[in-house]
Structure 1
């Protein structure tokens, strides 16, 4: 079943851009106003949350396929929807991001993975050993964050941790590196899963369900129609279009890294 699901996702899934369009329109019709993560965090810092407002936080993790991310972004612009896009270093497309920034109402920031990157590079398979390298990993993160900001000319005051197979093996998420010292040095206002932010979220959904219903842990329309005060929506381009070359490339890299990490 897992193999069939992988083949379906890579080659057979029909484009879902029409579904995405209807989904956003429905949320607007139900009275939701969309915010970037940075915007919502700023609202929280100003005082008590206005419970009469329906907040929707729209976050995109660009693990693969920045071209499809741009297609989703164009749909959002039809409705003047604000959203946050987190790019990995290997999914940065400078000209595409420049076009996104020109259209406004978007936050572009860093989808970081330095613990996994460091562990793969040095074949570190023990969490205890990773802890002894954490200072170097945090320095690497700050260097990459600065490169990201300068290359794209963005503030990137929020960041989001990427999940890699190495993190599962180590039982150590990438967000572990984001301590108070790193935040201060890097000028980071919030990590995308910070308790300060998530404690105000009344419903979190992500597009990582099965073939028949992509939303988890419950459906998008059920969540929106329930009049949640704050909905946190996590979107991944791969769920909306089977861009064959992009998917094959990502899977090849994943297999190659997995083989190298586990066997060498």
Structure 2
């Protein structure tokens, strides 16, 4: 019951936390951190990281609530820092994505084609997913090239989305990316690549009220002076947007029920 209340509070009642977000970035700047997008950090790391510098990689996954993402971007513009914004197909906002790029940050694709096909077909096992991998990769290629053409953006990095069906099947969306697909589409790095994440001293992800962070606040690592910190945030956790969150909750409920029906039908076929 407590978890339900926490979800209700976070989605519909929580006051904005954007001042806290600004304070977090200001603390990093005051401690001498360079604030990077995923792409700019990856490019900086290719010649080797400077042990005398501190790096903060600022990543946003725009699962929902583009409005709050826009406010976070405004704060970054005011402070003169960069970030990466990864948009799902359902949260695409072309003018905003182009504005992000003009500001020196990065906007790209938050992809989920393994989850999409699994839900559409009621796939129940990893083996079934692997059997459909050519179709899944074709869908990713189509979606990615569509978004790149629509926005006119380079989209050199991407980040996979995590869906309930990924947890159910124990397979991440980024497993669809192979070397051939990366070369074909010009993708230089995916946000969960070990070649990238192994460079991080600490990684932090935001979460629901009342914890807000997993597993502790990045301010601790910033004050400690950790060399390379990644902060992953989701706009939904920084301001309640009742109508947006209600629509998303209903969509997820519908998708969950539909998936279970299709999975049962598939097992019985």
Query: What's the CA shift string for 1:53-112, capped at 9, x where partnerless?
Result: 10010000000011110000000111110110000000011233233333x121001000
Question: Which residue in the other structure is 1:245 paired with?
Answer: 243
Q: How far apart, in 1, do the equivalents of 2:224 and 2:51 lie?
A: 14
Question: Which residue in the other structure is 2:60 paired with?
Answer: 60
Query: What's the CA shift string for 1:15-64, capped at 9, x where partnerless?
Result: 0111111111111001111111111111222x221011100100000000
Q: How far apart, in 2, do the equivalents of 1:187 and 1:98 lie?
A: 19
Structure 1 portions without partners, runs of 5+ = none
SS, match of residue 14 in structure 1: coil
So what's the TM-score if we normalise by structure 1? 0.96
Question: Which residue in the other structure is 2:265 paired with?
Answer: none
Question: Which residue in the other structure is 1:236 paired with?
Answer: 234
The correspondence of residues 80-95 of structure 1 with structure 2, limited to 5 A, is: 80-95=80-95
The correspondence of residues 149-228 of structure 1 with structure 2, limited to 5 A, is: 149-208=148-207, 210-228=208-226
SS, match of residue 200 in structure 1: coil
Q: How far apart, in 2, do the equivalents of 1:18 and 1:35 lie?
A: 20
User: RMSD in angstroms over aligned alpha carbons?
Assistant: 1.1
Query: What's the CA shift string for 1:209-262, capped at 9, x where partnerless?
Result: x52331212212111011011000101000100001110111111000000001
CA gap of 1:129–1:212, structure 2 versus 1, over 3 A, is closer
Q: How far apart, in 2, do the equivalents of 1:82 and 1:235 lie?
A: 14
So what's the TM-score if we normalise by structure 2? 0.94
Question: Which residue in the other structure is 1:44 paired with?
Answer: 45
Which 4+ residue blocks in structure 1 deviate beyond 4 angstroms? none
Contact 1:213–1:219 (CA<8 Å) still a contact in 2? no
Q: How far apart, in 2, do the equivalents of 1:153 and 1:52 lie?
A: 36
The correspondence of residues 123-138 of structure 1 with structure 2, limited to 5 A, is: 123-138=122-137
Q: How far apart, in 1, do the equivalents of 2:28 and 2:48 lie?
A: 23
Contact 1:84–1:108 (CA<8 Å) still a contact in 2? yes
Structure 2 portions without partners, runs of 5+ = 263-269
Length, aligned pairs only: 261
